[in-house]
Amino acid sequence: MTDQPGPSSHPAEHAPNKHPATLDPQESGRRFGIRDGMFQAVAQGGGEHYLSAFALLLSATPFQLSILSAIPQLLGTWAQLVSVKVSHWFPSRASQVYWGIIGQSVSWIPILTLPLLWPEHGPWLLIVGVAGYFTCTHFISPAWNSLITELLEPNERGAYFARRSRVVAITSLLVLCSAGALLSVFEKQDLLWIGFAIIFLTAGLCRSTSALLLRHVTVFPQHDPNIIPTGFLSFLRTGVSDNFRHFLFFSGLMHAAVLVASPFFVLYLIQDLHLAHWQYGTWLAAGILGQVLTLPGWGQFGDRFGNKALLTFTGLLVAFLPMLYLFSSAWLFLVSINFFGGVVWAGLGLGLNNYVYDAVQPADRAKAVAVSSIVNAIGWAMGTVAGSLLIKTIPNKLYLGTFLLEPVSNIPFIFFLSGLLRLIVSATLLRTFHEPRQVEQRAHSRLLWELPLLKPLRQFSRRPPGLNQ
């Protein structure tokens, strides 16, 4: 699935002894969104991030790793269509979200137990369990996003979602590191499956906690029985602008370019480079740390200058990240790349999400989220299938005149190709859509110094002499 000022200054935040029912309704819902993100982060950091590693324990092939990345997302995204279609069956969107969270929680049981009960079919059973999990995840998405965005003003969405994403990133970082350390302990005892059992069951329990929190929030609106929801075909014919269509094209192809390489990072790091699980966990953690440090800045940037400007910078920067893996396999170098990857992806993910909210009418947001996710999932599937074919055909050495380039496997060449495809997508499609909100306008050369990490350096360089004396 995303930036920002400090804590809110609502009076309710300074009255911790108040009963939640006496809080401002919007503030109560916003607080739930933040807390839900924290428990969701446990499922991500301790569960989702280690699904590929669990698949390797089950002796998954590169093709099965590609399927693990593509099929669950593709099947889950179609659940968003069903989610919008059946939304009027539930008394409220909150009720719909509640049952989706319950489904997520329960899904961790077959993810863990089915491959262990029938190990000869372990990778495929894992794929089935993960498909069920992501089906529930996507079933929640339209209703959840519609609920939260109704509580936010257009110019504060970036800040709120950055704040939530920062909570998610910090929690995910801590859980990810803890899970990596736990797996390393059990790996030494040749009981790695016990470590996976602990982190997967913890993920399920934390999603259950989110469901309990949601039951205590009673301020979300009920469905109006007099409103008959319009169909997707009507929405695509009349509710979608050319601007939004061009954005969807960019987003889908960017996902395709990214997923050419994405499933194979775990294969490259663990199987080819033989990194320990704690080293792999540190590599993952570096990316999350990059998000934590820059999410507030990206949120403020998007609110102030627009999500199109955000996508322009991050869409170009993200192209060069996988190319760097071709130049060195040193662990610290790889960790550094993933740190900057986290910085860039924090902004790109935030821009992709928030542009959808801005480009359509409020009543169409749930449909827009579903359509966007389907387009992204199609790109996701196209990219993973292409990557799985490339890994069988691309050689593991390349002659450039008299110079021989021979990494430990052919996977770094796939990473480089993914980066090249990302660059082509950004260079050709970013110019085809525009910012839908009224935002502050600046030349790109001046906006460069407003980017996270660069803005603090500029402010420090302009600090008056002797300020700290």
Instruction: Please report, for the domain that includes residue 288, its CATH number.
Output: 1.20.1250.20
Would you say the C-alpha torsion 192, 58, 259, 265 has a positive or negative sign? positive
Q: Would residue 152 count as lying in a domain?
A: yes
Who contacts 245 (Cβ-Cβ below 8 Å, separation ≥6)? none
Q: Would residue 464 count as lying in a domain?
A: no
Phi, psi of 403 (to 5 degrees): -95, 130
Answer whether residue 18 shows pLDDT above 90. no
* pLDDT the model gives residue 61: 85
Q: Would residue 458 count as lying in a domain?
A: no
Residue pair 129/224 in contact (Cβ under 8 Å)? The answer is no
Q: How many domains does the chain have?
A: 1
> Which token pair is 98?
């509640």
How far, in Å, CA of 373 to CA of 259, rounded? 15
Who contacts 309 (Cβ-Cβ below 8 Å, separation ≥6)? 301, 302, 435, 439, 444, 447
Q: Would residue 132 count as lying in a domain?
A: yes
In which element (H, E) is residue 360 found?
none
Q: Report the SS3 class of residue 451.
A: coil
Q: Would residue 182 count as lying in a domain?
A: yes
Across the range 335-362, mean pLDDT stands at 90
- Let me know the angle formed at the C-alpha of 275 by 274 and 279, rounded to the nearest 5 degrees: 175
For residue 85, name the pLDDT band (cuts at 50, 70, 90): confident
Answer whether residue 224 shows pLDDT above 70. no
How far, in Å, CA of 68 to CA of 383, rounded? 13
* pLDDT the model gives residue 28: 66
407: left (phi over 0), alpha (psi -120 to 50) or beta: beta
In which element (H, E) is residue 377 found?
helix 365-393
Mean per-residue pLDDT of the chain: 80
Residue pair 363/93 in contact (Cβ under 8 Å)? The answer is no
Tell me: the pLDDT tens digits for 63-81?
888 788 777 766 766 787 7
Q: Would residue 17 count as lying in a domain?
A: no
DSSP 450: G
Residue pair 250/304 in contact (Cβ under 8 Å)? The answer is no
Phi, psi of 62 (to 5 degrees): -55, -40
How far, in Å, CA of 326 to CA of 323, rounded? 6
Residue pair 75/368 in contact (Cβ under 8 Å)? The answer is no
Residue pair 358/308 in contact (Cβ under 8 Å)? The answer is no
Return the C-alpha torsion angle 270, 135, 372, 2, nearest 10.
-60
Q: Would residue 409 count as lying in a domain?
A: yes
Q: Would residue 450 count as lying in a domain?
A: no
How far, in Å, CA of 292 to CA of 342, rounded? 8
Residue pair 419/262 in contact (Cβ under 8 Å)? The answer is no
Answer whether residue 84 shows pLDDT above 80. no
Neighbours of 409 (CB within 10 A): 18
Across the range 159-185, mean pLDDT stands at 83
Range of the structural domain that residue 288 is part of: 23-222+236-436
Who contacts 286 (Cβ-Cβ below 8 Å, separation ≥6)? 335, 336, 338, 339, 342
Tell me: the pLDDT tens digits for 258-301?
999 988 998 899 889 998 878 888 898 899 888 888 888 888 88
Residue pair 18/147 in contact (Cβ under 8 Å)? The answer is no
Answer whether residue 460 shows pLDDT above 70. no
